[in-house]
């Protein structure tokens, strides 16, 4: 029997084309299994008394166990020490977990990379002149309107800059009333640090960055909750038009400020 010899071209035509497939797990790269393994290990490694201590200090206003474990996991991931006060968390009025850190922690994380070349932060003042607003220095009788900060990395040619408006962050009480320039400069710097070091500080916020229509200062959140409400809390509640109970405690004031019990 005569056999017809198949040419390479004929074999190529008959051979079914291979289907293009995505790498295994490509669609779930943002949700890594090892993250949940780490979270589970943290949960198993902590005793009840240790969890209770964290709840009392860094997580006083966290409402669910899931949020408590998530706070611990986030602090583990970014390297924040909960017992040193480098991060706290609370559940907001919408049931979301809010985690807050400190400017000192963010600076430490940035310097640990060895990539910080220089840091700058400046307040922005303006004054009226011939019907126009011009930039000036604070001793020239200007009004504080914002701040700007820049972070220069050694591995980049251009610095990362951030400029923020005072009116968007001014809470009108606490340190915002006594040290406004210090507070708005801190907001600008933490913005710039997060932009310059997204891998180390992505999703990490300082308490000063919480908007005035958002949540209270962390000093309010982690204070001695059983003591009488602070004057600053009472002043803010009055501004909000909320009736103040005679026996109002710090925790009770926090609930009111966070949009909780009325």
Mean pLDDT (the chain) is: 77
- Quick one: 125 and 195 in the same domain? yes
- The C-alpha atoms of residue 46 and residue 71 are separated, in whole angstroms, by 13
Q: How far is CA 16 from CA 5, 9, 11, 13, 19, in A?
A: 20, 13, 10, 8, 9
What confidence tier does 192 reach under pLDDT thresholds 50, 70, 90? very high
Is the same domain home to 94 and 118? no
Instruction: Supply the pTM of this predicted model.
Output: 0.61
* Residue 135 contacts residue 163 (beta carbons within 8 Å): no
* C-alpha to C-alpha distance for 157 and 51, rounded to whole angstroms: 45
97/144 same-domain check: no
Please check whether residue 211 lies inside any domain of the structure.
no
Cα separation of 203 and 69, whole Å? 17
Q: Which of 8-22, 72-86, 110-124 has the highest mean pLDDT?
A: 110-124
Number of domains into which the chain is organized: 3
Range of the domain at 235: 223-262
Whether 22 is in a domain gets the answer no
Task: Locate 191 and state its tokens.
Answer: 């913005």
CA–CA distance, 87 with 100 (Å, rounded to integer): 5
Q: Domain boundary residue among 80, 101, 122?
A: 101
Question: Residue 179 domain-assigned?
Answer: yes
- Considering the domain boundaries, does residue 16 fall inside one? no
Least confident of 49-53, 70-74, 257-261: 257-261
Do residues 133 and 198 share a domain? Answer: yes
Co-location of 63 and 134 in the same domain: no
How far is C-alpha 139 from the geometric centre of its chain's CA atoms? 33
Question: Does residue 60 sit within a domain?
Answer: yes
Tell me: do 87 and 130 sit in the same domain: no
| 31-56 tens-digit pLDDT | 566 666 766 777 777 888 888 888 88
Spatial CB neighbours of 99, under 8 Å, sequence gap ≥ 6 = 71, 74, 75, 87, 88, 89, 203, 204, 205
Residue 206 is inside which H or E element, if any?
Answer: strand 205-206
Average pLDDT of span 207-216: 58
CB 219 within 8 A of CB 174: yes
Most confident stretch, 50-54, 111-115, 202-206, 217-221: 111-115
Residue 213 belongs to some domain of the structure: no
Cα gap 215→254, rounded to integer Å: 9
Structure confidence at residue 254 as a pLDDT band (50, 70, 90): low
What is the pLDDT averaged over residues 140-160?
Answer: 93
Together in a domain, 199 and 119: yes
Q: What percent of the chain stands above pLDDT 90?
A: 25
């Amino acid at each position: 029997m005569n056999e017809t010899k198949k040419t390479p071209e004929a074999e190529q035509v008959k051979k079914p084309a291979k289907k293009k497939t995505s790498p295994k797990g490509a669609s779930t790269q943002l949700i890594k299994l090892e993250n949940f393994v780490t979270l589970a290990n943290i949960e198993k490694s902590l005793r009840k008394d240790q969890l209770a201590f964290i709840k009392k200090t860094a997580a006083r206003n966290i409402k669910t166990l899931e949020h408590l474990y998530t706070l611990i996991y986030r602090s583990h991931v970014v390297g924040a020490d909960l017992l040193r006060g480098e991060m706290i968390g609370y559940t907001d009025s919408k049931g979301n977990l809010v985690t807050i850190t400190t400017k000192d922690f963010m600076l430490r994380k940035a310097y640990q990379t060895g990539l910080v070349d220089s840091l700058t932060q400046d307040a922005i003042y303006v004054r009226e002149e011939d019907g126009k607003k011009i930039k000036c220095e604070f001793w020239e009788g200007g009004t504080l309107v914002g701040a700007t900060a820049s972070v220069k990395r050694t591995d980049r040619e251009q610095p990362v800059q951030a400029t923020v408006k005072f009116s968007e962050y001014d809470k009108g009480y606490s340190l915002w009333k006594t040290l406004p320039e210090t507070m708005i400069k801190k907001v600008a710097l933490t913005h710039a640090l997060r932009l310059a070091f997204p891998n180390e500080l992505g999703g990490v916020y300082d308490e000063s960055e919480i908007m005035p229509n958002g949540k209270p200062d962390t000093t309010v959140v982690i204070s001695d909750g059983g003591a009488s409400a602070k004057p600053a809390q009472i002043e803010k509640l009055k501004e909000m038009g909320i009736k103040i109970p005679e026996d109002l405690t710090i925790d009770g004031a926090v609930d009111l400020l966070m949009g909780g019990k009325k």
